[in-house]
């Protein structure tokens, strides 16, 4: 039987750990609400922009000679891995990194051998894991999560677009966790550049609400204006989603940790009480036998 | 007419308006009640929203506007 003092110390340490995890859970829950709000406020914007884009791009399929939309042979590839800055959120970061590595080793292995695959990490944790695995990381961007708003994100997106149109990279792919609900994150990998054609399943719906719009100054000019905008939105959406998913993952992880601590505490208390009773029984035995000896 | 100005972060205007003046990429233009359906790109500049006698100004960094059925939707940055 464990010694009383040892058990007491363990109980105290489990209790204080539990306090930390439950506090972190609350904080994550509060942050999650904020992040979720941000996702929901930008959703109508993204949906409308997408709608307008589709209206326009379907009407001028033929000659779209924009740099951002032309696919080139994918020689140099940039993988944008969106993770979190802080740990203690379960398998959140690991999942993204694993998926990215899987794609690199599979689809992009010829480019990897030539050293034409670069990682651009948003969030420190992804960079930590990747560099531990021996991949070269081109850049780490961690400050963006401190103040996640559209302005900061569009700077990053502009940067990426610039590198693509310069020819530094022929293909840019995003990896991130999409927020579904607090417990579930869906792993996403989507091509950022060159722009992929929007899915054509919307065409039937669009036919019904066909409106004769006036296009000012012209369809092509508007499309040229809109492509960078929709890319920025896509990037922003990925970041917001990942941010919300991070807090969701942390909340779930911390909830589990708190539950585990409660379980552990219950066991420890039982052990402690058993030890205490055994000690009392022992003492009584000693006293009684001492008294017996005196009598005899 | 019904006017809505939204940015990715928040909705900055929602409600009725009589006149909207916008910075188009080919020059400033104005939208009044019952305008024909229109889609246009906007440049960096100021949006002027007139309602009754009051006027409000909003700075934008480019955007898109869609007018349909007397509803004006501005996606600003």
All residues of chain A having their beta carbon less than 8 Å from the beta carbon of residue B77 are: 150, 154, 229
Return contacts of A134-138, CB within 8 angstroms, 24+ apart. Answer: A135/A101, A135/A104, A138/A78
Chain A residues with CB-CB distance to B4 below 8 A? none
CATH of the domain at A132: 3.40.1380.10
A203 pLDDT tier (thresholds 50, 70, 90): very low
Q: How confident is the model at residue A275 (pLDDT cuts 50, 70, 90)?
A: very high
**Per-residue model confidence (pLDDT) at position A90:** 86
pLDDT at B41 over 80: yes
Mutate to test the interface with B, among A34, A37, A39, A52 (most CBs of B within 10 A): A52
Q: How far is B66 from chain A (nearest CA, A)?
A: 8
* Domain span including residue A164: 25-252
What percent of chain A has pLDDT above 70? 91
pLDDT at A204: 45
The rounded distance, in Å, linking the Cα atoms of A257 and A209 is 52
Minimal-distance CA residue of chain A relative to B73: A48
Residue A96 lies in a domain: yes
- Residue at token pair 């509803």: B71
Residue A31 pLDDT class (50, 70, 90 cuts): very high
**How far away is chain B from the Cα of A135, in angstroms, using its nearest Cα?**
34
Average pLDDT, chain A: 86
Most A-contacting residue of B27, B41, B62, B76 (CB-CB within 10 A), to test interface: B41
- Percent of chain B that is helix, strand, coil (3-state, to 5): 0, 75, 25
Catalytically annotated residue among A82, A89, A122, A129:
A89
> If phi over 0 gives left and psi between -120 and 50 gives alpha, with beta otherwise, what is residue B24?
beta
* Tens of pLDDT, residues A117-150: 889 999 999 899 998 988 888 888 888 888 888 8
| Residue A263 falls inside a structural domain | no
Residue A228 structure tokens:
């960078």
B2-76 is classed CATH 2.60.15.10: yes
Q: Is A4 among the domain residues?
A: no
pLDDT for residue A210: 61
The model's pLDDT over A52-82, given as tens digits with 9 standing for 90+, comes to 877 777 666 555 567 777 777 888 889 999 9
Residue A35: closest CA among chain B residues belongs to which residue? B9
Three-state secondary-structure class, residue B42: strand
Q: What ipTM was predicted for this assembly?
A: 0.81
Q: Which two tokens stand for residue A92?
A: 């959140």
Give B75→chain A minimum CA distance, Å: 7
Min Cα distance B29 → chain A (Å) is 10
Please report, for chain B, the start and end positions of each structural domain, with discontinuous segments joined by +.
2-76
Residues of A in contact with B66 (CB under 8 A): 48, 52, 213
Residues of chain A positioned with their CB less than 8 A from the CB of B10: 41
C-beta atoms of A211 and B68 within 8 A: yes
* Residue A179: inside a domain: yes
Whether A89 is catalytic: yes
Instruction: Examine residue A18 and state whether it is found in any structural domain, yes or no.
Output: no
Residue A105 lies in a domain: yes
Chain A, nearest residue to B43 by Cα? A225
Band of residue A197 on the pLDDT scale cut at 50, 70, 90: low
Say what the pLDDT of residue A181 is. 85
Residue A116's pLDDT band, with cuts at 50, 70 and 90, is: confident
Mean pLDDT for A150-158 is 88
CB atoms within 10 A of CB B56: 13
Could you give the CA distance from residue B63 to residue A225 in angstroms, rounded to a whole number? 9
Interface list for B 3-62 with A (CB within 8 A): 6-11, 24-26, 29, 36-41, 62
Please indicate, yes or no, if residue A128 is contained in any of the structural domains.
Answer: yes
Q: What is the pLDDT of residue A64?
A: 56
Overall number of domains in chain A: 1
pLDDT above 70 (res A189): yes
Q: Which residues of A touch B9 (CB under 8 A)?
A: 38, 41-42, 149-150
Both structure tokens of A112 = 């990897």
């Amino acid at each position: 039987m464990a010694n009383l003092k040892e058990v007491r110390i363990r109980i105290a340490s489990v209790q204080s750990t539990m306090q930390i995890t439950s506090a972190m859970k609350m904080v994550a829950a509060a942050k999650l609400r904020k992040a979720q709000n941000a996702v929901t406020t930008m959703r109508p914007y993204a949906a409308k922009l997408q709608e307008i884009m589709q209206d326009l791009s379907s009407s001028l399929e033929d000659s779209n000679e924009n740099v951002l939309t032309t696919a080139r042979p994918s020689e140099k590839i940039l993988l944008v891995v969106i993770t979190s800055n802080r740990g203690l959120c379960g398998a959140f970061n690991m999942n993204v990194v694993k998926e990215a590595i899987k794609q690199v080793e599979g689809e992009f292995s010829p480019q990897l051998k030539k050293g034409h695959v670069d990682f651009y990490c948003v969030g420190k944790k992804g960079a930590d894991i990747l560099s531990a695995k021996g991949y070269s990381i081109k850049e780490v961007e961690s400050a963006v999560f401190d103040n996640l708003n559209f302005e900061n994100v569009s700077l990053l997106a502009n940067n990426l677009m610039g590198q693509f149109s310069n020819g530094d990279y022929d293909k840019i792919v995003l990896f991130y966790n999409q927020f579904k609900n607090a417990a579930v994150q869906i792993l996403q990998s989507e091509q950022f550049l060159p722009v992929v054609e929007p899915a054509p399943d919307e065409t039937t719906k669009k036919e019904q609400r066909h409106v004769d719009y006036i296009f000012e100054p012209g369809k092509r000019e508007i499309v040229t204006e809109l492509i960078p905008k929709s890319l920025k939105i896509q990037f922003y959406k990925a970041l917001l989603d990942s941010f919300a998913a991070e807090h969701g993952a942390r909340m779930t992880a911390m909830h589990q940790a708190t539950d585990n601590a409660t379980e552990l505490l219950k066991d420890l208390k039982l052990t402690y009480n058993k030890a205490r009773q055994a000690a009392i029984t022992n003492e009584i035995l000693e006293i009684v036998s001492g008294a017996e000896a005196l009598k005899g | 007419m019904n006017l809505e100005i939204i940015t990715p972060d928040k909705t900055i205007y929602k409600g009725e308006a009589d006149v909207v003046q916008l910075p188009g990429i080919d020059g400033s233009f104005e939208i009044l009640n019952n305008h024909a359906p229109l889609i246009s790109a906007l440049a960096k500049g100021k949006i002027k929203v007139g309602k009754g006698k009051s006027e409000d100004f909003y700075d934008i960094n480019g955007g898109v506007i869609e007018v349909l059925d007397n509803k004006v939707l501005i996606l600003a940055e």
